[in-house]
A and B are shown apart, each in its own frame.
Chain A
Amino acid sequence: MVELYSEPDVKKIVVVGHVDHGKSTLLGRILLDTGKIPADKVEAVKKTCEEKHVPFEPAFFFDALQEEQEQGISIDTTRVNFEFDGHRFLLIDAPGHIEFLKNMTSGASEAEQGIVVVDCVEGIRSQTGRHLKVLSILGIREVIIVVNKLDKIGYNETTFTKLAADLADLADAEGLRCLKVIPISALHGENITATSENFSWYNGLPLLPFILKLKEDTLDFTTGSEPLRMVLQDVYKFNDMRYFAGRVMSGEIAPGMEIFFSPSGKVSTVASIETFPAGGKQKAFKGESVSICLTEQIFVERGEVISSTREVPEVETEFGSRIVWLSSEPFQPDNNYLLKIGTNEVNCEVTVVTPAGGSRHASAVLNNGDIADVKIKTERPIAFDRSLSTANLNKLVLCSKYDTVAAGVVNLKGERKHDAPVADPNVVFEEGYVQRGMREEQNGHPGTVLWLTGLSGAGKSTLAKALERFLFNSGYKVVVLDGDNLRTGLCADLGFSPEDRSENIRRISNLAKIFLDTGFITVVACISPYEQDREQARKLIGDADFNEIFMFCPLEVCKSRDPKGLYKKVVTGQVSNLTGLSSPYQPPVNPHLRLDSSRMTTRDEVSAVIDLLDQKGVVHKDRLTAPAVTPVPEATPQAKL
């Protein structure tokens, strides 16, 4: 039995945005409206507001410092733990003023998601864009945007709609997925915990119910077990025993395991995991602070990364990163900085490669708040990860003598950030005479792409084949691009690392695009586990034609089906990197369709997809002549692999 680890159920959310757009007010309002503030504290804030002759200000629950209350500005970050409807939240307040960017990043680094607050009167301002960039640099992938102060513009829907579209584009440009744009009035507490009459034109959920729904939608998919990464903090010697103390950042560790130390390259075996009170443990998981004893005594020190001997981190002296500068002292190219990754610390040289967009100076000078792509050269080798799946060993900070001055994440392999490779500038795209529209006219229907994503065994290929047969019999141009089939030819050189999976999706989406331009209904069936890769596919194919269909099927059901015998092979060790077990699956948040093959028949699934195609004007249901769908025989596992 493969054990799946789930982290404690806490949603960590940071609230960011331009100064004065109402972040602390929103947070204060959330706590107040959910009854989380003791009565005597409410009274104290009321009294403070009266003394200052200002209206009752919910922000004061967070902005507790005298200077903050007197100037109506947040200086530093703070956070509250808070339970709502049985779910635990960590809400982090982050200041909006550029001068306090280091405080904003300190708060935001803890978060998994961001709420970006925008004042509907002021619209998009300098820190709105910068905060989105910073969230992206810190490794946050999803944001909810709230447009605040709608009370000031008479709850005008048109202004909101226009601003919402601009904001969604802005988030998109920074590689962030905008989950929703929600109009609110933080001051009056409208559309936060519950909607109000003034927002009758808004047909989505209010902010908190929306966040709760997100949680429920993602509950069934915990990230699969990742490779072991334990950072070594110290070696203690008590009572003639040597204990290697550190924290498991990902994966799991157990007695009997052979372990590898990076960068030293030493190997040993875990004898035991010791605890207080005594008793020991048979296994330790991600997040645990542990003390291990080894069978062979080796000399290693703080800073090492412990992994299995098979899946080791990279050890390098040079790599790229995108950083945000957080100090009022500007970056000095001649200075040596101290680089920290995990518990390792080494001196390094930093060279600015390109000051990225948003910098105030297009030069090698970096001032507080500037963002740049840099090259880092270290004095000694340092261990880290570049893959998407080990989230904790790619984060870095740079320090001057005493202070943290910059933060970032190690770039993925090949310095590729969020964008696909760009063709050589000398390559010229040759337009054809026959355009897509002409082909569609000849075919008698428009083309489109149906992108089926989900775990292995969730029913993607089954549905793809049923659709192909049904549409073909009804006279439609249709083609299936099956991920496994393409891996036998076009993508035969690719493995299952996060980078190879990304490249696989890049090729499939380009192929899908060609079929789309030929007017085909193109059915793509591939796991496509990463949100970022599907997002790239959506960009390439175009919003209008990219129909994301989430084949949602509980992991237990997929495992029991196991059409390719892959889940069994993970247990026996013949396959590693299987999505859902040893490799993560990031479920789509807003798919066009969500089909649960553990509860639906293939016929029902086909008709749900046909409904979608009918709504989009790709097919006309009344024109469909194909006979009822008959079950498609399953291919043998050999043929599919």
Chain B
Amino acid sequence: MSSYLDWLENESVFIIREAFNKTKNLALLWSMGKDSTVLLHLVRKAFLGQVPLQLVHIDTSYKIPEMIRWRDEFAARNGLKLIVGQNKQALDEGMGPEKGRLVCCGALKTQALLDTVKEHKLGGLLLGIRRDEEGSRGKERVVSPRSSNSEWTYKNQPAELWHYYNLHTPDDVHLRIHPILHWTETDIWEYIRRENLEIMPLYFGNDEGKRYRSLGCWPCTGTINSCASNLDEIIEELRTTETTERAGRAQDKEDTYAMQKLRKDGYM
């Protein structure tokens, strides 16, 4: 072991194995994005190519259509079993971003996720969030307990020292486990390049010189001006960029502390 990416990979594999050993009904929240696709690859590294846990996707019905197409093809090709969670009741009642972006995220993502956790009795979720994405994620623990209403008690998080994670929980608490919390956006892309991972084409610059740097629902996710059409070009672009990764995500900008407020209620 020598490189920094090896170090990150080994840390993450250790965390995934700890979670798998201790958590009842562990699942992986897969958004098909670059981070959770790296996470899926790390799960394979941990279990010698197997994926001995369930994959969950929360479908808001507002996802960029190409994402859903890619999801189904990728899952079929790789023999992955997928649980698709959706807040049908809210959608039937006409929920959408025009009702307010944060309200919409709360119903179609947070509530849908909590319902899925309860329905499938999931004891823990592996999530591909990273500290450098935005401020409130920066304050996360590797293992973060969520109460029965999925609340994050960010003002009173448990102590987490060395590699000793708090993986015992009461029955009504589920765990959010963050194996790639310490990776940066650049680390993710460098790892994708090194491991030669299949990644959603939306990340690469199209003929009009636009690409997605972060993927989400189409009404709230914008592209950036970029001709970066391969991994080398994306990595080079990140070295010199003057903007943050989630600059194209409209929900983050609803309020100075929008993400904190969403995440307090259990948003990923």
A residues with a Cβ closer than 8 A to B are 6-10, 38-41, 44, 48, 51, 62, 64-67, 75-81, 88, 102-103, 105-106, 109-110, 138, 233-234, 236, 238, 243, 245-247, 274-278, 284-289, 291, 302, 326-327, 340, 343, 395, 397, 399, 401-405, 407
Instruction: Name the residue among A77, A286, A289, A326 with the largest chain B CB count within 10 angstroms.
Output: A289
- 28 A-B contacts (beta carbon < 8 Å): A8-B1, A8-B2, A10-B4, A38-B244, A40-B242, A44-B256, A64-B134, A75-B139, A76-B154, A77-B139, A78-B138, A79-B182, A80-B131, A102-B158, A105-B161, A109-B161, A138-B161, A246-B17, A276-B44, A276-B47, A276-B48, A288-B1, A288-B10, A289-B11, A403-B158, A404-B158, A404-B164, A404-B166
**A404 x B160 contact (CB < 8 A):** yes
**A66 x B139 contact (CB < 8 A):** no
CA A38 to CA B14, docked complex, whole Å? 32
Contact partners of A138 in chain B: CB under 8 A:
161
Give min CB distance, A409 to chain B, whole Å.
Answer: 10
Does B23 make an interface contact (CB < 8 A)?
no
**A278 x B182 contact (CB < 8 A):** no
**B132 x A106 contact (CB < 8 A):** no
B residues with a Cβ closer than 8 A to A are 1-4, 6-7, 9-11, 13-14, 17-18, 20-21, 44-50, 131-132, 134-136, 138-139, 141, 145, 154-155, 157-164, 166, 168-170, 182, 184, 187, 241-244, 247, 256-257, 260
CA A446 to CA B256, docked complex, whole Å? 68
**A289 x B13 contact (CB < 8 A):** yes
Residue in A closest to B44 when the chains form the complex, CB atoms: A276
CA A326 to CA B159, docked complex, whole Å? 7
Give min CB distance, B214 to chain A, whole Å.
Answer: 14
Contact partners of B18 in chain A: CB under 8 A:
233, 343
Known pairs A106-B159, A247-B14. 16 more at Cβ < 8 A? A9-B4, A10-B7, A40-B244, A64-B135, A64-B260, A65-B139, A66-B260, A76-B154, A81-B184, A106-B141, A243-B48, A247-B163, A289-B46, A397-B162, A404-B161, A407-B162
**A103 x B136 contact (CB < 8 A):** no
CA A443 to CA B11, docked complex, whole Å? 62
**A48 x B161 contact (CB < 8 A):** no
Contact of B21 among A8, A80, A302, A326 (CB under 8 A): A302
The 10 A-B pairs at the shortest CB distance, nearest first, are namely A64-B135, A102-B159, A289-B13, A109-B161, A39-B242, A404-B159, A66-B257, A78-B138, A276-B49, A8-B7
Give min CB distance, B70 to chain A, whole Å.
Answer: 23
Give min CB distance, A60 to chain B, whole Å.
Answer: 8
Contact partners of B47 in chain A: CB under 8 A:
236, 238, 276
Instruction: Given A233-B21, A404-B160, check contact A78 B139 (CB 8 Å).
Output: yes
Give min CB distance, A61 to chain B, whole Å.
Answer: 8
Instruction: Given A39-B242, A404-B164, check contact A103 B45 (CB 8 Å).
Output: no
